[in-house]
Every structure is written in C-alpha cells, then in structure tokens.
Chains A and B, each alone.
Chain A
C-alpha cells in the first residue's frame, strides 16, 4: 500500500479533529455536572433565604461552600484539565470571583439588594462566557443566554424578580447542564 504525503496529512488532520471532539465532549460532561450542581445549589440557597431570611440571608456563603466543594470534587474525579493542580486553581478562581464581586458590589458600587441579586449570577456567568473562548461555544452560549434572561428579569419583572431569578439560576442552570451533556 502506498500513501502519499498529502493523504497522510489529511488522515492525521482527521485524527486530530476527532480527538479534539472527544476532549471537548469530556470537558462538556464535567461542566454539565457542575452547572446542574449549581442549579440545585442556587435553588437551595434561594429557598432557604426565602424560608429564613434572618438566618440564611447573611450566611448564604454556607450553601455556596457546598457548591464549591462539589465543583472541586467533580473536577478531581473527572481528571479533566492539567493534572491535580486544577482543583486548587478552581478554588482560587472562586475566591477571586467572590473578592472582585465584593469589591465591585459592596465596596465601590454599594449596590441595592435588587442590584446585588442580578449582579452575582451575572458575574459567574461572565466567567462561563469567557471560558467558552477556550473550552467550547456551549459555555459562551450558556453564559450569554442566561445573563440576557437575568438582565431582562431585572429590567422587566418588577416585584417578581426574586422568583424569576430562582427559575433562571435554578431550573435554567439545570436545563443548560442537561443540554450541555448532549452537546
């Protein structure tokens, strides 16, 4: 059998293309689990705050801590990314987001409760939108799509904004995760 150089190059390009798709699929699968986890975390946090605003309002971070631990566990289990340093980088990424969010929303912006409610999920969704530039367009689609829905609710939903936000950051995240698993 004789194979020309251009045929060999075409075959190797085919191999690279398939390998890239498989790797992206693995990233999507881990990310889908994480998005669904955060959908459940958001629902739990919003539900607990609605039930006991006095206690859970200032302690929302306790529920988020469960989400962060779950995220690190999923990434550690999936083995996605560049080795064992990924979970620590993920923790650092969360801490940076919370720190920048606090500086922007509390220290500089002095946001109202309604603005705070809209700001925090959009901050993390911005991270998703940017991650899509490296890890696949589904991240960007989810980041931009859910941000658009949150902004629409912020501008249009009036007194029902909390409910709208719970639907988007809870059910919306879970649906996006299910979609991403199949993407």
Chain B
C-alpha cells in the first residue's frame, strides 16, 4: 500500500482535488469562485493552495479575461487525478484495516 500523498492530504487541497477530479477530463475545469464555494476557503488561502498543487503538477491553472473580467479556471492534470485516486485508495485501505 502506498503512503499518503503529503500534498493532497491537507483538507482544503483534498477538497480541491475532489472537486476537480469529479469533473470530466474533457471539461474545462472549475472556476476560482466555484472552487471557493466548494472548499470553504478564502481568496488568499485558496490561491496559495492552488499554487502548491500547480507546483506539484497536480492542477493546471488558466487565467483569462471573459467579458473584460479576469477569470481563473482550474483543471486536474492526469498526474493529479492519479495522485488523488491513489490517496483515496490509501484512505480506504486504512478504514479497511489493511
């Protein structure tokens, strides 16, 4: 059994990855505001966690202007999806007593 993923283990980052991996890989991902609502994080807090995940290669952050407003979209990378699946499997194994 693999160990916990130290990056995803943090509660806000776990929620971020849960939300992003629930989206279809072909989707554009989730925007920053929606992620904020789903994770209960503040702007600054979420931004810092996204930076952390992006540096690990787990998410792709895209910044664009839509109707003259800045819009940040976040998507799970294939590497992030695999890491999240592995971390969830690790948590399930703990519960199963393995």
Interface residues of A (CB under 8 A from B): 1, 3-5, 8-9, 11-12, 14-15, 18-19, 21-23, 25-26, 79
Contact = CB atoms under 8 A, between A and B. Distances in A.
A5 B22 CA distance: 24
**Dominant secondary structure of chain B at its interface with chain A:** helix
Contact of A18 (B3, B15, B95): B15
A15 B4 contact: no
A14 B22 contact: no
B21 to A, nearest CB: 8
25 contacts: A1-B9, A3-B4, A3-B9, A3-B94, A5-B94, A5-B97, A8-B94, A9-B95, A11-B11, A11-B14, A12-B92, A12-B95, A14-B11, A15-B14, A15-B15, A15-B88, A18-B15, A18-B19, A18-B38, A18-B39, A19-B18, A21-B19, A22-B22, A23-B22, A25-B34
Interface string B26-48: 00001000100011000000000
Of listed B15, B34, B94, residue having the most chain A CB within 10 A: B94
A22 B94 CA distance: 26
B62 to A, nearest CB: 18
A1 B4 contact: yes
Contacts of A8: 91-92, 94-95
Given A18-B19, A23-B22, A11 B91 contact: yes
Interface string B1-13: 0011010010100
Contacts of B95: 5, 8-9, 12
